Every structure is written in C-alpha cells, then in structure tokens.
Structure 1
Amino acid sequence: MLAPRLLGRPVPLPLVAWLALVWVTLWGDLSVGNVLGGLATGLVVTWLLPLPALDPGVRVHPAALVRFLLCFGWDMVISTVRVVFWVAHPGQPPAQLVRVPLRTSSEAMTVMIMITLSTMPGSLVVERYPGELLLHVLGLSGDVSEATRADVAGLESRIVAAFGTRRDREELP
C-alpha cells in the first residue's frame, strides 16, 4: 500500500520519502532529527497539498517497443549515412518542406512522434498544426513528399503500437 489514508486523505509514501530526501539534502546533515523532520514535513505537505491524479496517456507494450526501437535504430543509421554523404559532397544538399498529416489525436503520441522525427539527422519538425506536422527534410532529392508521408505514417503506427492507450491504438486504421 503506497498511499495509505491519513484522516481521510491518501498520502503517497514514495513522494513523502522523496521530500524527506530533499529536506535532508537541503540541510546538508544526515541525522535522525533531519530525517524525522523531513518525513514529518513530507507528510504535512502531501496531506495539505494533494496532487491530482494524472494519466500521461502512455502505456508500454514490450513487443511493439522492441519493434519500434529496431526500426528507429535502422532509420538513424540510414539518415546519418545520408547526411554524412551530403556533408562530404560538394554543393548544396537538397532540402524540402513537407506537410505530413497525422492520424492520431493524442497529444502524448504527437509529442513522441515530433521528438523521434527531430532526433533523426536530416529531419526537423518546423511547425505543428492541428492534425499535421510541417517537416524540413534534408538530403533527399526529387519530390519526396509521398515517401516522407509514408515514412511518418509508419513511424506513427510503430509509436502508437509501442506506447499508445487502447483508444490511441483503435484510432489508427
């Protein structure tokens, strides 16, 4: 039981322990009095100022997570090679702005997609609009709009499969 009730209110013991650790660290002296004072302060603070229950909207599905990580690793290698080629190649590398629609409406999934895309060399999320992203794509010649949209749709599917809630997963066709 990590949140026993004290006078009708739940008191999260891990948070009390964390606050006691911060208390002892701030005092700079590990003593019985400081530890007890930190625990008492943590109890009072968590009882008087309860935190609301938050659901970040993220679940971890191990098999899908492994698939996502393998694909992400491969994408990182390919995009790094592409950017290194254009750095070593004389002349301007090709660059385009591509609008990419998203199928998910989940903020958490959208943020994960944006972080993943911005982590890969040669791509950067420039702007987020409702239901779509504006990507800067570097190092691909020709009209790469459809290929970029297909790549992002695959990435979106893998992220939602690895981290999405049941509602998120049902939302994708």
Structure 2
Amino acid sequence: MTGRLLAPSVLGRRVPLPMVAWLALVWVTLWGEVSPGNVLGGLAAGVAVTWLLPLPVLDPGIRVRPLALARFLLVFGWDMAISTARVVFYVFRPGPPPVELVRVELRTSSESMTVLVMTALSNVPGSIIVEAYVAERCLMLHVLGIPGDAAGKVRADVAALESRVVAAFGTRADREELGQA
C-alpha cells in the first residue's frame, strides 16, 4: 500500500514522489528563491523528469541491521585506534617496520559485501589492498607493523571483519553463505 502512495501511477507510469520532491528542492535551490512559481515549476519539472526518464529498480544487496551495525562500528573504531597507534610507533621507531604481503581468501561471493570489506580494510591505517582477485574471491594485502608471521593473524582479522560486515549489511543469502542465518 505504501508503495502506491509513494509512487502513484500517472498515465500508466509510476512517478516516485520522494524523487519528485528532491528534484523540486534542487530546482528551487538553483533558482535561489522560494516562491510559489519556483516550487510549482520544480514539482512540474520533477514529475516530467521522473515520468519521461524512469529509473530502473535496483537492489544494491545491502540491508542495515542496527545492532550488528553498532557492533561493527565499535570494533572498527577500536581497530582503527590500535592500527593508528601501531603505525605511529613504527614511524618514530628507528629502522624499517615489519611489512608483509598476505593473500586472504574471502568467504562471501556478494560484490556488495566484498566492496564493503575492501573499503573497511582500506580505511584502517597500516593495511593496503594491493590487488583484488574478484573471480577467486581473494585479496592481496600489504600489512605494516605486525611482527613475526603476520599471515595467520591477518587472515583471522579479515575473516572476523568480513563476518561483522555481512552481519551488519548482508542479505539473508549473504548471511547464510557465512553460516550466520
């Protein structure tokens, strides 16, 4: 019922009212003056654009779960703080820091989840994605500041991050793929 209220049919085509409102707001902003004529002109332009140029229905494959998102953000913030401290330590310490290239296999086959995992990894200081093998579901990471054999720790950390990302943003199929459903 709400779908029909938010996108009524005009001459056989759906017109999404939130998009019309957004386009009208942009129209009024571009004109620089709120007047009845500008608002009506913006609404007319919004209806015309959305009716003449309908957007396809897209599902980005992302669902937000507030509790899992809060957990993801807390752990991600902690990881960033620890990684920043590790990088700062090695910046001020004489000599070269320990670095390693680690190949990590992802368990998810979802492109959306893979992109979110890659984004999270790229934002943590001390780790850079050197290469992504999408068909093989593998990432090659350059990690800084983890002494000894870092491969096992990095793989475990990425698997935990992947689980948190899928729990916070994944569809039911994504969660089932990781055994979280």
TM-score range, shorter chain: over 0.9
Q: Equivalences for 1:53-68 in 2 at 5 Å?
A: 53-68=57-72
Alpha-carbon offset, residue 61 of structure 1: 1.3
Gaps of 5+ in 2: none
* Residues 139-162 of structure 1, C-alpha deviations (whole Å, 9 max, x = no match): 112221111111100110111011
Aligned to 2:173: 167
Alpha-carbon offset, residue 18 of structure 1: 1.1
Structure 1 residue identity aligned to 2:161 = L
Aligned to 1:30: 34
Aligned to 1:101: 105
- Match among 139, 153, 161 for residue 145 of structure 2: 139
Alpha-carbon offset, residue 71 of structure 1: 1.3
* Residues 44-88 of structure 1, C-alpha deviations (whole Å, 9 max, x = no match): 110111111111101111221122122112211211111111011
SS of match in other structure, 1:15: helix
SS of match in other structure, 1:55: coil
- Match among 43, 46, 51 for residue 47 of structure 1: 51
Aligned to 2:81: 77
Aligned to 2:163: 157
Name the % identity. 71
- Match among 16, 36, 50 for residue 12 of structure 1: 16
Structure 2 residue 95 is matched with structure 1 residue 91: yes
CA RMSD, aligned part only? 1.1
Matched residues in 2 for 1:167 and 1:34: separation?
46
Alpha-carbon offset, residue 30 of structure 1: 2.1
SS of match in other structure, 2:6: coil
Matched residues in 2 for 1:67 and 1:28: separation?
43
Structure 2 residue identity aligned to 1:51 = L
Structure 1 residue identity aligned to 2:155 = R
Matched residues in 1 for 2:146 and 2:159: separation?
18
Structure 2 length-normalised TM: 0.92
Matched residues in 2 for 1:73 and 1:149: separation?
19
Structure 1 residue identity aligned to 2:141 = L
More divergent stretch after superposition (66-75 vs 93-102):
66-75
